[in-house]
Amino acid sequence: MTFAALSKHPFALRPRVVIVGGSIGGLSIAKFLTSTISADASKGPMPRITVIEPRHGIMNPIAIPRSLVEPDFAKHTFATLSSFPNDMIDNVEYVRGKVVHMSASDVSVEFADDSADTAKIPFDYAVLATGRHRQSYIMPPEPTKEEYIEVMNSYVNQIRNAQNIVIVGGGAVGIEIAGEIMYEYPDKNVTLLHSRATLPPEPVDAAVGEYIVDALVKLGVNLQLSTRAKSDTDGKVTTTDGREFKSDLTIWCNSRGKAATGFLDQKTFIDSIDANTGAAKINDDMSLKGFPHIFAIGDVNDFPVIKTAGGAHHQANTATQNLLRAMDIKRGTYTESDAPASATMTPWGAHMALIIGQELGVMELTGRGVVSGTPVLEHFGGDMHTSKMWSVVGIKTETPPKRHKL
């Protein structure tokens, strides 16, 4: 889609909201805005909402570990734009492309249609929902459903054909991939290397880590803690202490990745971005520090919680309330002094859930403590949260078959 087409949109004179990133966080913002304004005429005319995303749809990253061993599972975990709800199709402009530069008032977009076209899109309000840079096994970058299925099938075949598999990194994804492979292929040799003395690296109750270790060992994973990989050459992974592990396939899950904020103008946003992590520094109303008209949600920000899709969705809710508040003030519905207070968020406690294979799982949820077994499998809904993710943004598409052993 070209900017010439966008500029003729009937909403061109209405408030302009640009959402950079179209995964669960960005699409939740779009859904909250369209549904709230459609249901409440007092919120004024529908703003002009533009979502900029390289993918032609949305992929459920929570389902990646299962998709790596079940070729038919992956095709249900990518929803194309045609399956999006009507209120979003009618009221949201979807631009396939990536933002290459962002100022305090516009974004420069490089379109993903091989035309080499670029355009500047101005905004009154913006939302950063770009996540973090991750390794391809964890977050395949393929832009279309067909390409996504093709690359996932190639990963499935790599795993199927490898007898000795080394997974580097014992975070949530590394743990789940190890569990899925051993459950599906109990005769394979799967080694999980983790640089720390305990699992997982996230700040959770010790009981969570103990359950994970027991579950992995029960499945037959060769778990090597306090072990850091140094190289992966000649069919073996060598550690920093000189040990070697035979590897027909090495899956790297050890990088948390920097927040995807490299497109932000360095001079403009120098005080709003963490120099080490790239994370967007935010206030408790989800606005970017120093820029009350720009919000940042999910993995891209420095909100001190374990990063999850559910957390991004909740942050989107708070950001949307404050977007609506800002538009009300600008429209004259309220003055700044008599407007309702901004919605804010405070960090919640440990919040993490893991499936290990198809029969084991553990989670620690705020207010519920540590839970394991069947309640965890039920929490994931049998399809790695795919149905739940689709439902929160109103997507109507076929969901994966229930695969957990409920």
> Which domains are present in the chain?
3-137+257-331 (3.50.50.60)
Structure tokens at 172: 């949530």
Quickly tell me which residue has 């965890």 as its tokens.
Answer: 376
Whether 287 contacts 265, CB under 8 Å: no
Residue 398: pLDDT band with limits 50, 70, 90: low
Question: What confidence tens digit (pLDDT) does each residue in 33-64 have?
Answer: 999 998 887 777 899 999 999 999 999 999 99
Please tell me the distance from the alpha carbon of residue 169 to that of residue 171, in angstroms, as a whole number: 6
Question: Of the ranges 4-13, 328-337, 342-351, which one carries the lowest mean pLDDT score?
Answer: 4-13
Residue 246: pLDDT band with limits 50, 70, 90: very high
Residue 114: pLDDT band with limits 50, 70, 90: low
Q: For residue 52, what are the contacts with CB-CB under 8 A and spacing of at least 6?
A: 18, 19, 20, 21, 22, 95, 97, 98, 99, 107, 109, 121
Query: In sequence order, what E strands does 105-248 have?
Result: 106-111, 118-122, 125-128, 164-168, 189-193, 222-224, 229-233, 236-239, 244-246
Question: What confidence tens digit (pLDDT) does each residue in 125-150 have?
Answer: 999 999 998 877 778 888 899 999 99
As a whole number, mean pLDDT of residues 345-372 equals: 91
Give the helix ranges, DSSP H, for 244-300: none
Of 46, 62, 47, 57, the residue nearest 22 (C-alpha): 57
Question: What confidence tens digit (pLDDT) does each residue in 318-338 have?
Answer: 999 999 999 999 988 889 899
Question: Does the bond joining 200 to the residue before it have cis omega, within 30 degrees of 0?
Answer: yes
In angstroms, the Cα distances linking 46 to 2, 104, 277, 339, 373 are: 22, 22, 36, 20, 45
